[in-house]
Amino acid sequence: MAMEKRARFRSWWLPYALILPQIAVTLVFFFWPAGQALYQSVFIQDAFGGNLQFVGLDNFRELFSDEHYLASFKVTAVFSVLVAGLGLSVSLVLAVFADRVVRGATAYKTLLIWPYAVAPAIAGVLWVFLFNPSIGIVAYWLKRVGVEWNYLLNGDQALMLVVMAAVWKQVSYNFLFFLAGLQSIPKSLLEAAAIDGAGPVRRFATIVFPLLSPTTFFLLVVNLVYAFFDTFAIIDASTSGGPGQATEILVYKVYKDGFKGLDLGGSAAQSVILMLIVITLTVVQFRFVEKKVQY
């Protein structure tokens, strides 16, 4: 069956020519930097690239004997699970509601999509404005109701703040996909279930959610990658990894050591580790989670 769908090209080179731009982009923007990272991770050098010394796996050994680096794994795990989990559930709820709205649906949708256009660093600053212990309006309200709010010293609150900012930024993206997924579910199925006496919750659990599973799976992968890689600007603009190391996730440490600290070998080694983690996670997801997905 599948064979019939295959397109046939008359010349052997045309298909390759058509994918060439994509391959070129991947090579230049993915394989080349990744190769550079691998190369630099086995060297130490001064900031200007002088005094290049081959050190083998010393950079990695150093990282794994550093308890603070190991602690940053825990922070990253908590952060990513929270960002992906909250990001997916909040946007699913929003999508389900937006799907049911009859009047002004476009307005709701537009407003919900807006945050996606905001740059991560700006998102971080926006949330800092709201929650800053001395100038933030939300911080002011919290203090009035007796909450001791100071994310500059309280690590849990700082983590909460960056999770909120990261989730807020990603909800729009998830929302779009969920909404599209919801709209492609045949209405006849839902109506048939309704006639059989299934209430909204039951219809969601037995029909909508399983049919959404391809979308959910795709978003899970995308959100985890987002939490791992794209959130460092939010953290840099809001907490700079502090207080202590409460919000220092792996990718932020890569940026800090590499660009601010100019320790290229150590930073490259960290990015190689990060790369391995994400590759492993993605493989695991495709092997185990995808089995539960119904296409």
Instruction: State the amino acid at position 175 in one-letter form.
Output: F
Taking every pair of Cα atoms in the chain, the longest distance, rounded to a whole number of angstroms, is: 76
Range 116-130 burial, b when 16+ CB lie within 10 A, else e: eebebeebbbbbbeb
Specify the residue, 68 or 100, whose C-beta has the smaller distance to another protein: 68
Q: Choose between 50 and 146: whose C-beta lies nearer to another protein.
A: 50
Count of residues in contact with another protein, rule CB under 8 A: 33
Question: Binding of another protein at residue 148 (CB under 8 A)?
Answer: no
CA dist 168 and 170 (Å) reads 6
Instruction: By CB under 8 A, name the one of 257, 268, 273, 274 that touches another protein.
Output: 257
73 near another protein, rule: CB under 8 A: no
262 binds another protein (CB under 8 A): yes
* Residue 44 binding another protein, by CB under 8 A: yes
CB of 235 to another protein, least distance (A): 13
Q: In the numeric block, which tokens belong to residue 295?
A: 């296409």
Query: What is the C-alpha to C-alpha distance for residues 226 and 217, in angstroms, rounded to an integer?
Result: 14
Q: Report CA 260 to chain centroid distance, whole Å.
A: 23
Q: Is 122 in the site for another protein (CB under 8 A)?
A: no
If one asks whether residue 242 binds another protein (CB under 8 A), the answer comes out as: yes
Cα–Cα distance for residue pair 234/222, rounded to 1 Å: 17
Give backbone dihedrals phi and psi of 152, rounded to 5 degrees, phi first: -70, -25
Residue of 240, 275, 277, 281 interacting with another protein (CB under 8 A): 240
Stretch in the footprint of another protein (CB under 8 A) among 74-82, 106-114, 153-161, 281-289: 153-161
- Under rule CB under 8 A, residue 146 binds another protein: no
Task: Establish if 256 lies at the interface with another protein (CB under 8 A).
Answer: yes
Report 162-201 residues binding another protein (CB under 8 A). none
Residue matched to tokens 């295959």: 6
- Considering the complex, what minimum distance in angstroms separates the CB of residue 252 from another protein? 11
If the CB atoms of residues 21 and 50 are measured against another protein, the closer one turns out to be 50
Q: Which residues of 169-192 are buried (b: 16+ CB within 10 A; e: fewer)?
A: bbbbbbbbbbbebbeeeeeeebee
* CB 46 to another protein: min, Å: 5
Q: Outline where 6-136 has alpha helix (H).
A: 14-26, 32-40, 58-64, 67-100, 105-113, 120-131
Please say whether the beta carbons of 160 and 79 come within 8 A: no
Q: Which of 26, 53, 183, 280 binds another protein (CB under 8 A)?
A: 53
- Give min distance, CB of 220 to another protein, in A: 32
Tell me which residues touch another protein (CB under 8 A): 44-51, 53, 62, 66, 68, 133-135, 152-155, 240-245, 256-257, 259-263, 266
